[in-house]
């Protein structure tokens, strides 16, 4: 399924009804995607705090896989809601899902969603596969937190500083600090309303964007040093790529999430439209980040490889040697452009 429009009035009403159908003592499980980023955690925790303000008492938030919250997001308000995947409610009354484009991004939690009597999916990926009972998927939204804020407003939850900080982190990370194409006037208006609660954007940005261990900087230097520019790739629009292995992480004693922002310096290379970072997850398994400056729909490449994302920012899991993974991307780019 490919979506091009925002949720309908019926879908908003169904989402409000779904939340209101649960009582304050019902178990409500919030879930975001594997290897959560700022939007996944920020929209989930901001919404969780909103439910707390509505009187819900049995709230848990989780994500599949290893229970590691990246340092930049460790101090987010509402972090007390977070539990490891194994401690999710067994049989929640309501499940809310944040920033998840496909069920594969739910890992072992996908079954919980299928079994739940009621589920609401909040997302903004055009590639969203259309799972869950009530779907609030707005591919024009700059972040899932935009959708989360709209649902909170419809539920009558006023913004406070804690909710605002979560939603602001989500908005700032998914817009690349208000730089990407999705950064509309409405995005700035939302940011203004969030900042008006009294949150400190400078302090938040330093914590989220401008703070990392020395080892992460050294690792970044090495990985960027081995980048390859292929001017003829992507139909002559150019591709720049690099990779990082588990051994690289180990050598610098860094956790995998420090590689999440590595795509940013790579995609800034002016000589290439397409940028690719291939990050080892396990032996023969790689998490691939794709970006385009506009000439190529990289979500098509990602979807063809079993992944997903947005037109200009997408990803998938690749298998084999790093060279084979990059070969696959190169071939698909050629296929899409010819
Ligand atoms: P990133 O490169 O920052 O990890 O991801 C870029 C975009 O692609 C995000 O919107 C993310 O949700 C999506 N994405 C990344 N990896 C995958 C994947 O394996 N499957 C799907 N469906 N989407 C992905
Ligand atoms: Mn997002």
Q: What does each of the 338 residues of the chain score in pLDDT, given as a tens digit?
A: 445 689 999 999 999 999 999 999 999 999 999 999 999 999 999 999 999 999 999 999 999 999 999 999 999 999 999 999 999 999 999 999 999 999 999 999 999 999 999 999 999 999 999 999 999 999 999 999 999 999 999 999 999 999 999 999 999 999 999 999 899 999 999 999 999 999 999 999 999 999 999 999 999 999 999 999 999 999 999 999 999 999 999 999 999 999 999 999 999 999 999 999 999 999 999 999 999 999 999 999 999 999 999 999 999 999 999 999 999 999 999 998 86
Structural tokens at position 3: 């979506």
* H runs (alpha helix) in 155-271: 161-174, 185-195, 201-208, 214-225, 246-251, 263-267
Predicted confidence at residue 145, as pLDDT, reads: 98
Rounded Cα–Cα distance for residues 118 and 132 (Å): 8
Domains belonging to the chain, first-starting first, are: 9-209 (3.90.1640.10), 214-337 (3.10.310.30)
Rounded Cα–Cα distance for residues 276 and 314 (Å): 10
Helix axes 185-195, 144-154, angle to 10 degrees: 60
Predicted confidence at residue 3, as pLDDT, reads: 55
Measured in Å, residue 155 CA sits from the centre of ligand 1 at 29
From 44, 103, 107, 308, mutation site for ligand 1 pocket: most ligand atoms within 8 A of C-beta: 308
105: left (phi over 0), alpha (psi -120 to 50) or beta: alpha
Nearest CA owner, ligand 1 atom 22:
308
Ligand nearest to the CA of 143: 2
From 72, 302, 309, mutation site for ligand 1 pocket: most ligand atoms within 8 A of C-beta: 309
Asked whether 188 and 201 are in contact (CB, 8 A), the reply is: no
Predicted confidence at residue 1, as pLDDT, reads: 46
Predicted confidence at residue 194, as pLDDT, reads: 98
Measured in Å, residue 191 CA sits from the centre of ligand 2 at 16
Rounded Cα–Cα distance for residues 139 and 125 (Å): 5
Predicted confidence at residue 4, as pLDDT, reads: 61
For ligand 1, residues with CB inside 6 Å are: 101-102, 105, 125, 263, 289, 307-310, 313-317
Rounded Cα–Cα distance for residues 41 and 31 (Å): 9
Please write down the long-range contacts of 243-251, taking CB distance under 8 Å and 24 or more positions apart: 243/277, 243/278, 243/279, 243/280, 243/286, 243/322, 243/326, 244/219, 244/277, 244/278, 244/279, 244/280, 245/280, 245/322, 246/280, 246/282, 248/219, 248/222, 248/223, 249/219, 251/219
Positive or negative, the CA dihedral 48, 142, 199, 265 is positive
CB count, 10 Å around CB of 49? Answer: 26
Rounded Cα–Cα distance for residues 36 and 99 (Å): 9
Q: Which residues surround ligand 2, an ion (CB under 5 A)?
A: 39, 99, 144, 174
Nearest CA owner, ligand 1 atom 6:
314
């Amino acid at each position: 399924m490919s979506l091009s429009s925002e949720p309908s009035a019926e879908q908003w009403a169904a989402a409000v009804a779904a939340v209101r159908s649960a009582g304050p003592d019902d178990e409500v499980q919030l879930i975001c995607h594997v290897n959560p980023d700022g939007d996944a955690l920020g929209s989930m925790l901001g919404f969780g705090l909103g439910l707390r303000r509505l009187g819900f008492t049995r709230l848990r938030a989780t994500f599949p896989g290893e229970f590691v919250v990246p340092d930049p997001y460790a101090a987010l308000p509402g972090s007390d809601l977070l539990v490891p995947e194994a401690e999710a409610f067994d049989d929640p009354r309501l499940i809310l899902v944040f920033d998840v484009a496909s069920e594969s991004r739910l890992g072992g939690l996908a079954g919980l969603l299928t079994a739940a009597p009621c589920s609401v999916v909040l997302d903004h990926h055009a590639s969203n596969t259309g799972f869950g009972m009530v779907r609030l998927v707005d591919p024009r939204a700059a972040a899932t937190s935009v959708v989360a804020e709209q649902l909170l407003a419809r539920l009558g939850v006023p913004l406070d500083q804690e909710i605002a900080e979560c939603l602001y982190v989500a908005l700032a990370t998914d817009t690349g600090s208000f730089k990407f194409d999705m950064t509309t006037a409405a995005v700035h208006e939302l940011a203004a309303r969030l900042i008006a609660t009294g949150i400190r954007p400078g302090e938040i940005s330093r914590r989220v964007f401008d703070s990392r261990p020395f080892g992460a900087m050294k690792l970044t230097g090495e990985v960027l040093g081995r980048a390859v520019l292929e001017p003829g790739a992507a139909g002559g629009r150019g591709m720049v790529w690099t990779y990082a292995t588990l051994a690289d992480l180990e050598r610098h004693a860094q956790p995998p999430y420090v590689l999440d922002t590595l795509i940013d310096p790579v995609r800034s290379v002016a000589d290439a439209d397409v940028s690719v970072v291939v990050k080892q997850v396990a032996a023969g398994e790689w998490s691939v980040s794709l970006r385009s400056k506009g000439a190529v729909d990289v979500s098509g490449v990602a979807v063809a490889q079993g992944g997903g994302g947005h037109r200009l920012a997408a990803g998938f899991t690749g298998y084999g040697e790093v060279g084979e993974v990059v070969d696959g991307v190169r071939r698909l780019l050629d296929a899409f452009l010819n």
